[in-house]
């Protein structure tokens, strides 16, 4: 599982006669390929961001940024404005709650359809064809960013809060369906098979044998999605749907810095509360970290194995019970407060606009500027994502190590309680910085970056990088917390110096986590470039926003197809790379294992 | 009793995984009330054979007839109707740890219950006499409303048996049900597999020939997926066993 697969296997006496399976030369070659894979895109993106001879820094804007930070501690606190902020907070929260509820509905239905475990034997051909269709629809829904969904819904529904809710529910629902499907497939199949072998009906078998073990994981993921929905709901404000995002952009553009800071503190407050509540809940429910939810391919197995050896019992957790009690009335309250009504969906106007929209979107046409514009936007998009990842990785390397809770010895801690205070302060500080970075929507970072930088790849990359850094930092830190420390303790026990033992045993798996999550986040970053594009950075997102604003629907279709192709392509490359990282030893996932007689699935912890 | 049709009839039955023949060319007829021990080393094909008997694996060659029906090309609902009468126990227990014991015991009756009734029982748990009686017989009358994961390994083993008891199967297929138990426990579990007063047929794979001698009427030996002996347990002597467990 770790990078150590690259290391030449130690010549055990029995093996010396045989040839090495991995020679020193292959190791060197792999290292060079790996280095090139990192260096070439970076250099290329940098050149893309810094075209020769054009200015990058907008000197006149620097003072604006200075003003902005000068008023950091003097937020606008008039009662009038505070009422506005409070109202915006409620709107954002309501969008997030309703959007998550919608995503949960889509996710449950889709997850059952996508999961192999939920289907008895090989389903008939018609069902398989339908599953394939649903799967591809969900992939398409996932590859379009919430913000673009919002723009599309707004052009059909107008500035209806329903547009915001749907814009969250559709892509989140598709993502939830994928994760739910993987989670159901990751549950040890034994109980379900036993029920089926005893002749239970399909639905009853699922309800007794599959859903109970999956429930804590599904619930935990739903709350994680809610956390993401809060961030998205802030971003959605940018297109004018209301909430904290809209207020933020308005205040930024009118340069009311004191208002900006009030709003920023409000955003941070909201995210911090949801964040803390959530991580507590996740710990109680299933000991699943955000990292487990984001790991892609191999995460399914780890999720369920983690859930296996948990100590917490959902039934006894006060947090879990309180959350369940709050959820339903909260949902109803949000529904009432939002004035969201589904009638907008069936109104003749909506139908009219939808028909016209679909009519005009086909056949697709090139955007203004033709192929060259498209040929310029795509590399720009990739360059933004690459540079953003570089920024994010730097942030993670600098802050991440402090944000991982040190696990060496609760014993130690009890003996010397004061010695760990600086470490704890550093932990809280690092977590706070990461929270700030990821809570402020990338759009806002982009608007700030655009004060000081000319539009182009660089401000977009910087904005997206700060935001992604906040997310990546947390993911990696959580994964680092789960690194097995026993090998290090073993080295220490034989007299190795402390830091050396850590470098030898903690760094290789940690580097592996960082690489995996970086690749995974890169795929998302490609999609997220839409967010910074909307405020005018560069890339496909910018073109989409421009063409949407001008109602050039045929061009929008082309751009959507292009971004779809780009995200599918990057996902394919990412998956290939991650699999290569796992080495050939990586498990072929349970699809093939399911056909064989069930061997001990619970044995390997 | 010999007049009644056989519970199990295999004719040249085999199962192949790719090019590997896990079970090959097995002929076996078992009548109601027989208790058959399946012996053999790890990888001899015991699990595969048992999976073919409860319909979870189909044969790739030959015929598998269980409780009067050829298991190949049955419709799903016909297969379910047969499977309802076959009880399965394995070393892994395959209990749902996250729910109450009651639900795990009820799981044995899901085949007879309609979907609505099954869901209702999940939503409003109620211990009826069948469940209480089954749990009393395995010695866990106090555990009805306990969460399954809180029980010890041995207690969970008995919950799995209680599930088997409420299913009231005509045939019990048990895959190494006592592999990880101490001899006393193992004997207790094997006693419970047969329901007194009914001619339940049991096919059980075991690692200890001693248990086969004590609890079964007949023993079959598998080596490399092939049947190498089929004897009454009284004829199970050291020479036969030495042959079976010699690694080639």
B169-195 pLDDT, tens digit each: 999 999 988 877 788 888 888 888 866
Contacts of B93 in chain A (CB under 8 A): 190
Contacts of B16 in chain A (CB under 8 A): none
Contact: A198, B98; criterion CB under 8 Å? no
Distance from CA of B132 to the nearest CA of A (A): 19
Encode pLDDT of A428-452 as tens digits.
899 899 999 988 888 888 888 888 8
Cα separation, A82 vs A3, in Å, equals 52
Tokens of B200: 């339940």
pLDDT > 90? residue A334: no
Of A190, A193, A212, the CB nearest to B99: A212
Q: Where are the domains of chain B?
A: 1-85+171-184+199-248, 93-168
Contacts of B110 in chain A (CB under 8 A): 195, 198-201, 204-205, 208
Element (H, E) at B220: strand B218-223
Domains and CATH numbers, chain A: 89-339 (1.10.3720.10), 369-407+424-591 (1.10.3720.10)
**pLDDT at A485 (0 to 100):** 75
Distance from CA of A482 to the nearest CA of B (A): 24
Contact: A200, B56; criterion CB under 8 Å? no
Q: Nearest chain B Cα to A316, which residue?
A: B147
Encode pLDDT of A225-237 as tens digits.
898 899 889 888 8
Contact: A208, B96; criterion CB under 8 Å? yes
Q: Report the CATH fold assignment for B1-85+171-184+199-248.
A: Rossmann fold (3.40.50)
Using a CB–CB cut-off of 8 Å, the residues of A that contact B are 120-121, 190-191, 193-201, 203-205, 207-209, 212-213, 215-216, 313, 315, 595-598, 600-602
Cα separation, A219 vs A179, in Å, equals 12
pLDDT > 70? residue B40: yes
Tokens of B150: 């809180």
Tell me the pLDDT band of A520, cut-offs 50, 70 and 90: confident
Contacts of A208 in chain B (CB under 8 A): 96, 99, 103, 106-107, 110, 118, 122
End-to-end CA distance of chain A: 14
Distance from CA of A121 to the nearest CA of B (A): 9
pLDDT > 50? residue A147: yes
Size of interface A-B (CB pairs under 8 A): 105
**pLDDT at B3 (0 to 100):** 59
pLDDT > 50? residue A329: yes
Q: Mean pLDDT check: name the lowest of A277-281, B39-43, B117-121, B161-165.
A: A277-281
- Percentage of chain B lying above the pLDDT 70 cut: 96
- Percentage of chain A lying above the pLDDT 90 cut: 11
CB neighbourhood size of B187 (10 A):
15
Contact: A204, B84; criterion CB under 8 Å? no
Show the DSSP H helices in A198-317 as ranges.
202-209, 211-236, 244-253, 257-285, 290-294, 299-308
Average pLDDT of span A125-131: 85
* Residues A210/A192, Cβ–Cβ less than 8 Å: yes
Encode pLDDT of A51-73 as tens digits.
766 677 777 778 888 888 887 77
pLDDT > 60? residue A594: no
Contact: A198, B84; criterion CB under 8 Å? yes
β-bridge mates for residue A223, sequence order: none
- What's the complex ipTM? 0.81
Residue with tokens 């046409």: A365
Encode pLDDT of A467-511 as tens digits.
999 989 988 887 777 777 777 777 777 877 777 887 788 788 888
Average pLDDT of span B213-227: 91
pLDDT > 60? residue A217: yes
Q: From residue B127, how far is each of A537, B70, B86, B131 by CA, in Å? A: 65, 36, 24, 6
Contacts of B17 in chain A (CB under 8 A): 595-596
Q: Is B131 helix (H, G, I), strand (E, B) or coil?
A: helix
**pLDDT at B205 (0 to 100):** 93
Output the furthest CA–CA distance in chain A (Å, rounded). 82
Encode pLDDT of B143-165 as tens digits.
888 888 888 888 888 899 899 88
β-bridge mates for residue A152, sequence order: none
Contact: A199, B56; criterion CB under 8 Å? no
Contact: B111, A197; criterion CB under 8 Å? no
End-to-end CA distance of chain B: 40
- ∠ CA(B69), CA(B75), CA(B78), 5° rounding? 50
Contact: A597, B98; criterion CB under 8 Å? no
Contact: A198, B111; criterion CB under 8 Å? yes
Contact: A191, B96; criterion CB under 8 Å? yes
Tell me the pLDDT band of B132, cut-offs 50, 70 and 90: very high
Contact: A191, B94; criterion CB under 8 Å? yes
Contact: A193, B56; criterion CB under 8 Å? yes
**pLDDT at A604 (0 to 100):** 27
**pLDDT at A159 (0 to 100):** 82
Return the sign of the alpha-carbon dihedral for residues A138, A144, A145, A149.
negative
Determine the residue among A193, A197, A596 to mutate to test chain B binding: the one whose Cβ has the most chain B Cβ atoms within 10 Å.
A197
Encode pLDDT of A352-371 as tens digits.
888 887 777 777 777 777 78
B35-39 and B201-205 as β-strands: parallel, antiparallel, unpaired? parallel
Contact: A201, B119; criterion CB under 8 Å? no
**pLDDT at B52 (0 to 100):** 92
Q: Mean pLDDT check: name the lowest of A261-265, A445-449, B226-230.
A: A445-449
Q: How many CA atoms lie within 13 A of B136 on its CB side?
A: 7
A379-406 burial: b if 16+ Cβ within 10 Å, else e: ebbbbbbbbbbbbbbebbeebbbbbbeb
pLDDT > 60? residue A410: no
Average pLDDT of span A116-121: 77
The two counts, helices (H) then strands (E), for chain A are 27, 0
Question: What's the DSSP call for residue A366?
Answer: P
Contact: A596, B90; criterion CB under 8 Å? no
**pLDDT at A103 (0 to 100):** 94
Of A191, A198, A600, the CB nearest to B167: A198
Using a CB–CB cut-off of 8 Å, the residues of B that contact A are 17, 22, 47-48, 51, 54-57, 76, 79-88, 90, 92-99, 103, 106-108, 110-111, 113-115, 118-119, 122, 147, 149, 167, 169
β-bridge mates for residue A596, sequence order: none
B3 burial type by CB count under 10 A (0-12 exposed, 13-18 middle, 19+ buried)? exposed
pLDDT > 60? residue A390: yes
Nearest C-alpha neighbor of B161 from the set B184, B133, B121, B123: B133
Contact: B110, A205; criterion CB under 8 Å? yes
Contact: B110, A200; criterion CB under 8 Å? yes
Distance from CA of B103 to the nearest CA of A (A): 8
pLDDT > 80? residue A301: no
**pLDDT at A596 (0 to 100):** 33
Phi-psi domain of A556 (left: phi exceeds 0; alpha: psi -120 through 50; beta: other)? alpha
Average pLDDT of span A2-13: 43
**pLDDT at A75 (0 to 100):** 82
B69-70 and B61-66 as β-strands: parallel, antiparallel, unpaired? antiparallel
**pLDDT at A312 (0 to 100):** 40
Cα separation, B195 vs B201, in Å, equals 9
Cα separation, A438 vs A278, in Å, equals 15
A96 burial type by CB count under 10 A (0-12 exposed, 13-18 middle, 19+ buried)? buried
Tell me the pLDDT band of A580, cut-offs 50, 70 and 90: confident
Average pLDDT of span A589-598: 33
pLDDT > 70? residue A195: yes
A414 burial type by CB count under 10 A (0-12 exposed, 13-18 middle, 19+ buried)? exposed
What is the DSSP secondary-structure string of A64-114? HHHHHHHTTT-----HHHHHHHHHHHHHHHHHHHHHHHHHHHHHHHHHHHH
Q: List the B218-223 sheet strands across, edge first.
A: B86-90, B171-175, B201-205, B35-39, B218-223, B226-232
Q: From residue A342, how far is each of A101, A270, A339 by CA, in Å? A: 14, 27, 10
Contacts of A121 in chain B (CB under 8 A): 76
Determine the residue among A199, A203, A307 to mutate to test chain B binding: the one whose Cβ has the most chain B Cβ atoms within 10 Å.
A199
Average pLDDT, chain A: 78
Element (H, E) at A392: helix A370-403
Q: Nearest chain B Cα to A207, which residue?
A: B119
Residue with tokens 């971004």: A563
Alpha carbon A228 to chain centroid, angstroms: 8
Contacts of A218 in chain B (CB under 8 A): none
């Amino acid at each position: 599982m770790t990078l150590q697969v690259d290391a030449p296997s130690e010549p055990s006496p029995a093996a010396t006669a045989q040839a090495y399976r991995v020679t020193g030369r292959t190791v060197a070659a792999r290292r060079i390929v790996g280095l090139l894979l990192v260096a070439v895109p970076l250099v290329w993106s940098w050149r893309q961001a810094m075209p020769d001879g054009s200015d990058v820094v907008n000197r006149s804007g620097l003072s604006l940024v200075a003003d902005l930070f000068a008023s950091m501690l003097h937020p606008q606190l008039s009662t009038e404005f505070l009422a506005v902020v409070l109202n915006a907070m409620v709107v954002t929260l309501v969008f997030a709650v309703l959007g998550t509820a919608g995503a949960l509905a889509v996710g449950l239905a889709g997850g059952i359809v996508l999961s192999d475990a939920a289907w008895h034997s090989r389903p008939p051909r018609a069902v398989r064809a339908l599953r394939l269709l649903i799967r591809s629809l969900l992939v398409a829904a996932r590859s379009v960013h919430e913000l673009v969904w919002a723009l599309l819904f707004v052009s059909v529904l107008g500035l209806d809060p329903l547009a915001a809710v749907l814009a969250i529910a559709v892509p989140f629902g598709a993502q939830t369906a994928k994760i739910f499907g993987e989670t159901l497939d990751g549950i040890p199949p034994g109980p379900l098979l036993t029920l089926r072998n005893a002749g239970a009906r399909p639905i009853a078998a699922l309800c007794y044998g599959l859903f109970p073990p999956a429930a804590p994981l599904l619930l935990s993921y739903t709350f994680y999605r809610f956390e993401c929905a809060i961030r998205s709901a802030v971003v959605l404000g940018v297109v004018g749907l209301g909430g904290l995002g809209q207020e933020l952009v308005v205040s930024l553009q009118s340069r009311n810095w004191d208002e900006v800071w009030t709003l920023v503190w409000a955003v941070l407050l909201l995210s911090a509360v949801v964040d803390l509540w959530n991580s507590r809940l996740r710990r109680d429910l299933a000991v699943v970290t955000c990292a487990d939810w984001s790991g892609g391919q191999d995460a399914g197995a780890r999720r369920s194995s983690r859930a296996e050896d948990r100590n917490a019992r959902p039934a006894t957790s006060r947090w879990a019970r309180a959350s369940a009690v709050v959820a339903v009335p909260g949902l109803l309250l949000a529904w009432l407060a939002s004035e969201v009504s589904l009638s907008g969906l069936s109104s003749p106007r909506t139908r009219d606009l939808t028909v016209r929209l679909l009519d005009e979107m086909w056949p697709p046409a090139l955007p203004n500027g033709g192929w060259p514009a498209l040929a310029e936007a795509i590399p720009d998009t990739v360059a933004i994502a690459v540079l953003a990842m570089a920024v994010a990785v730097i942030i993670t390397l600098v802050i991440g190590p402090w944000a991982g809770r040190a696990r060496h010895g609760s014993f130690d801690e009890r003996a010397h309680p004061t010695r760990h205070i600086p470490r704890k302060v550093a932990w809280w500080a690092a977590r706070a910085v990461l929270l700030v970075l990821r809570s402020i929507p990338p759009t806002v970072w982009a608007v700030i970056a655009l004060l000081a930088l000319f539009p182009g790849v660089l401000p977009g990359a910087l904005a997206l990088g700060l935001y992604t850094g906040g997310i990546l930092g947390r993911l990696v830190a959580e994964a680092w917390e789960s690194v097995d420390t026993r090998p290090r303790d073993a080295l220490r026990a034989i007299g190795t110096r402390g830091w050396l033992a850590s470098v030898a045993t903690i760094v290789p798996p940690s580097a592996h986590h960082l690489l995996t999550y970086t690749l995974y986040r890169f795929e998302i970053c490609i999609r997220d470039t839409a967010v910074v594009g909307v405020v005018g950075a560069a890339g496909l997102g910018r073109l989409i926003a421009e063409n949407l604003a001008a109602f050039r629907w045929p061009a929008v279709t082309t751009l959507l197809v292009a971004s779809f192709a780009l995200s599918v392509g990057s996902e394919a490359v990412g998956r290939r790379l991650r699999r290569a990282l796992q080495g050939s030893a990586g498990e072929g996932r349970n699809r093939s294992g399911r056909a064989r007689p069930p061997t001990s699935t619970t044995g390997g912890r | 009793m010999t007049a009644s049709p056989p519970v199990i009839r295999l004719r040249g039955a085999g199962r192949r995984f790719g090019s590997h023949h896990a079970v090959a060319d097995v002929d076996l007829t078992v009548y109601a009330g027989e208790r058959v021990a399946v012996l053999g080393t790890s990888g001899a094909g015991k699990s595969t054979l048992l999976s073919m008997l409860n319909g979870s694996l189909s044969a790739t060659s030959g015929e598998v007839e269980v409780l009067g029906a050829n298991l190949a090309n049955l419709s799903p609902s016909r297969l379910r109707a047969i499977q309802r009468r076959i009880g399965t126990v394995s070393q892994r227990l395959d209990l749902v740890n996250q729910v109450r014991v009651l639900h795990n015991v009820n799981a044995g009756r899901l085949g007879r219950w309609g979907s609505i009734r099954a869901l209702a029982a999940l939503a409003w748990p109620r211990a009826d006499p069948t469940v209480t009686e089954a749990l009393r017989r395995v010695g866990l009358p106090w555990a009805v409303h306990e969460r399954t994961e809180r029980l010890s390994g041995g207690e969970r083993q008995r919950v799995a048996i209680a599930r088997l008891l409420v299913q009231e199967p005509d045939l019990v297929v048990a895959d190494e049900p006592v592999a990880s138990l101490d001899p006393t426990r193992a004997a207790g579990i094997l006693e419970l597999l047969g329901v007194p007063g009914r001619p339940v047929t049991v096919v059980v794979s075991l690692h200890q020939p001693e248990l086969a001698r004590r609890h079964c009427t007949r023993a079959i030996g598998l080596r490399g997926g092939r049947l190498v002996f089929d004897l009454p347990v009284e004829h199970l002597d050291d020479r036969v066993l030495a042959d079976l467990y010699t690694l080639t």
